Amino acid sequence: MTHFPPAPSSSLGPQESDDLNLRKLVDTLFDHRWFIVSLTGVFLLGGYFHASSQPRIYQADALVQIEARGSNLAFMDSAGERQPDNPTAAELEILQSRMVLGETANRQDLAIQVEPRRLPMVGNFLVSHGVNQASIESITPAFIRGWLGDSEGSSWQNPYVWADESLRVSRFEVPDDNIGLDHIVRIKEEGRFDLLLEEETLLTGNVGETVQDDALGYRLFISQAIAHPGSEFILRRVSSLNAIRSLQSRFEIMPRGVESGVYELKLSGADRSEIQPTLDTLTGVFLTQNVQRHSEEAEQQIAFLNEQIPQVSNQLSDAEGMLNDYRAQRDSVDLTFETQNLLTRVVEVENQLNELSMREADLAERYRPSHPNYQTLLRQRSQLAAERDRLNAQVNELPETQQEVLRLTRDTQVNQQVYVQLLNQLQEMRLVKAGTVGNVRILDTAMLSPGTIAPRIPLITAVSGLIGALLATMIVVMRLLLSRAIKTPEQLEELGLPVYATLPDSGEQAGLTERIRPRHSKKAQEVFRGLLAVQKPAEIAVEALRGLRTSLYFAMLESDNNRLMITGASPGVGKSFVAANLAAVCAQAGQRVLLIDADMRRGHLHHAFNGKGVKGLSELLARRIEVEEAVRHSDLEGLDYVARGSVPPNPSELLMQQSFHDFLEAMSLSYDLVIVDTPPILAVTDATVVGKMAGTSLMVVRFDANAPGEIKAAKRRLENAGVNIKGGILNGVKKSTNSRHGYYGSYLYAYR
């Protein structure tokens, strides 16, 4: 039983309207679930393929400690000098400097880059899944081998490098003009190889031997080659700066703990065998330069002392000689007690001034005169100079003989103390140099982490799938928001087209439909073989057509004749399905029905009856056959049909002839109902011609396909031709997801 209650009121409250919109969104997403699932699956596969095609990245780590202390020189530490504000930060900057990274790159020959040649597009993916040369030979057909570079010899040689194949180059020197250019190393039989540049052979040699050409400026030593004959590797030598930048981009420093001075060093890369020794070399270079830098301070002090000691020794000898000569001239003059005390004080001040002079020379190399340490030294020297002037004034008051003896004795003692002090400092600096260890310690040597750190295949695959799901959802939502297509009977009624029936989308009908391409047509079209009303009479769509049959009974009571035209605004709306199955349900009700296929261009109603399109309406109107031959009987009692006939060059002109009018008049007398299926209104003018001869005309509108503008244009075209559209049929309404039997835009229910 089919029930058509009145259309629901449009005066919905805010809460109900919001719930309806949300339900509509959820229903739309559910209706397009297979599109969302399919696009998500495509993105999942794409993400997995992309991630698996990326090179595997490995990582090694080491642990170092940087102590926050200054120089090892004891005499500088006691004075509070040479202490940097943040020695740890300075050491970290040194660790990332070109001095350390450049030395590491030179020792590890990082300027030499080897890249295997892979099969385009899928090579990295296959290698990551362990596809090697043997498996490729076993599964690749002969014609593909030829495309990949099969030689005419007995063994298959292709230039692509597969899993478990590698090349180790220990030395590669090129002319300066060719730095950065891609060279090709082609492996040959019995461990031989060729070096090529732009298909020109530069060197030929054996693995494990140095090959060079002094005229060209090339030198090459390949230490190891594990690859099948014919495989090719891309070999290049980059500049030192590029090698340093590449190493710097792969190097990372991470602090361990808060202000602990312990740092974790990480180095990543695609070459598993290169990462650990490179990081070990880097930490070794850093430690060595740190120790050398601290020992250089002691070496500078030793050099300075070695330069000063001979000069002070000569000054001491001269002072002692002058004192002895003066005593000999004056018959060994002795100093009084007061003069002796004054001499002791003068010697102390002079020694202190000499010490400050030595410290000032060291500070002048490191600080500006405005530095606080430098200013403190200048104030101390000023005070001692004032004290020395005061003592010299007292000396000037002594007798001449005492003054001279005191002066000579002072010079001797001062030079002697300076000499002894320099000797002590020299010995101290030698001990400091021997015991210098720097302020950097390697706690953990480099260790290669198990597995890979990139690419993270599960994460990339999951994110790709999520992006695909979001993209598919956005597409569905945007189509819903931007779509202006007819989705409810109310929309048709607002356009002045009463809705006579709402036909749900039938899954059973899809089983009767197939796509064919006519012989002289470039486009394929969908045809249905068999009638749904006959094969599935209990289908809900058939029940809706029975309701349409009842509605038409009353609608056609006011018509001039018993002819019904079924048309549509555009192709693909299902007008032929409606016309054929409506004719069937009317015949099942005991009426004598004639179904005419007036679409002489692409009509296909004859397929529903398993007949042929020839000897139909076009031949009848052209008077090549008689009515008895054009009208065919179907397997359903009471239902006859007329096929389209051969495709004529002028279908519209044939329909406008008197013969078509006479044919319809005759058929109206012979049958209870004549149903005419016409071409789309907006495509051709055939429907306007037929509509003038039909008492009732119905327009089929496809759910979520026809826009309101199309319906308006089709309705206007028919009205301008004098054809009165009785109403519309909303076809292909999608089933709602939140109701078991309900449908969008109507209250249509199955009752069994």
Residue 437: count of CB within 10 angstroms of its CB: 13
CATH number at residue 658: 3.40.50.300
List pLDDT tens digits, range 609-648. 989 888 999 999 999 999 999 999 999 999 999 999 998 9
List pLDDT tens digits, range 427-456. 887 887 777 777 899 999 999 999 999 999
pLDDT at 739: 45
| Band of residue 414 on the pLDDT scale cut at 50, 70, 90 | confident
Region at 467 (left for phi over 0; alpha for psi -120 to 50; beta for the rest): alpha
Residues 368 and 379 in one domain: yes
pLDDT at 146: 57
Residues 475 and 503 in one domain: no
Beta strands in 672-750 (DSSP E): 673-677, 696-702, 727-733
Overall average pLDDT of the 23-38 stretch = 87
Q: Is the pLDDT of residue 404 over 70?
A: no
pLDDT at 752: 43
Residues 478 and 494 in one domain: no
pLDDT at 408: 72
List pLDDT tens digits, range 183-209. 999 999 999 999 999 999 999 999 999
Residues 578 and 461 in one domain: no
pLDDT at 479: 85
Tell me, yes or no, whether 377 lies in a domain: yes
Tell me, yes or no, whether 285 lies in a domain: no
Greatest mean pLDDT range, 39-48, 292-301, 483-492: 39-48
Q: What is the mean pLDDT of the chain?
A: 84
Higher pLDDT, 675 or 148: 675
Mean pLDDT check: name the lowest of 181-185, 394-398, 485-489, 695-699.
394-398
Residues 198 and 338 in one domain: no
Query: Which residues 6+ apart lie within 8 Å of 450 measured at CB?
Result: none
Range of the domain at 339: 294-440
Measured CA to CA, the distance from residue 727 to residue 578 in angstroms comes to 14
Enter the tokens of residue 148.
């990949």
pLDDT at 343: 66
Residues 23 and 89 in one domain: no
Residues 299 and 244 in one domain: no
Q: Is the pLDDT of residue 603 over 50?
A: yes
List pLDDT tens digits, range 321-352. 776 776 667 655 566 666 667 767 777 777 77
Residues 196 and 303 in one domain: no
Residues 202 and 323 in one domain: no
The DSSP string of 506-534 is -HHHHHHEEEE--TT-SS-EEEE-S-HHH
Residue entry with tokens 């020839």: 614
| Band of residue 10 on the pLDDT scale cut at 50, 70, 90 | very low
Note if the bond before 708 is cis, omega within 30 degrees. Answer: no
Overall average pLDDT of the 670-691 stretch = 93
Tell me, yes or no, whether 528 lies in a domain: no
Residues 192 and 339 in one domain: no
Tell me, yes or no, whether 344 lies in a domain: yes
Tell me, yes or no, whether 215 lies in a domain: yes
**What is the total residue count of the chain?**
752
pLDDT at 68: 76
Rounded to 5°, angle at Cα 517 from 513 and 521? 140
Residues 342 and 200 in one domain: no
Task: Using DSSP bridges, classify how beta strands 563-568 and 673-677 pair: parallel, antiparallel or unpaired.
Answer: parallel
Tell me, yes or no, whether 554 lies in a domain: yes
Measured CA to CA, the distance from residue 401 to residue 404 in angstroms comes to 5
Q: For the chain, what percent of residues have pLDDT higher than 70?
A: 85
Rounded to 5°, angle at Cα 436 from 433 and 441? 165
Q: Is the pLDDT of residue 511 over 80?
A: no
CB 58 within 8 A of CB 268: yes
pLDDT at 242: 95
Tell me, yes or no, whether 265 lies in a domain: no
How large is the C-alpha radius of gyration of the chain?
51
The DSSP string of 528-558 is E-S-HHHH-TTSHHHHHHHHHHHHHHHHGGG
The sign of the dihedral angle between the CA atoms of 479, 480, 482, 488 is: positive
pTM (2 decimals)?
Answer: 0.66
Tell me, yes or no, whether 572 lies in a domain: yes
pLDDT at 300: 78
Higher pLDDT, 438 or 730: 730
Residue 53: count of CB within 10 angstroms of its CB: 17
Can you say how many angstroms the Cα of residue 431 is from the centroid of all Cα atoms in its chain?
59
In total, how many domains does the chain have?
4
Residues 36 and 97 in one domain: no
List pLDDT tens digits, range 241-278. 999 999 999 999 999 988 889 999 999 999 999 999 99
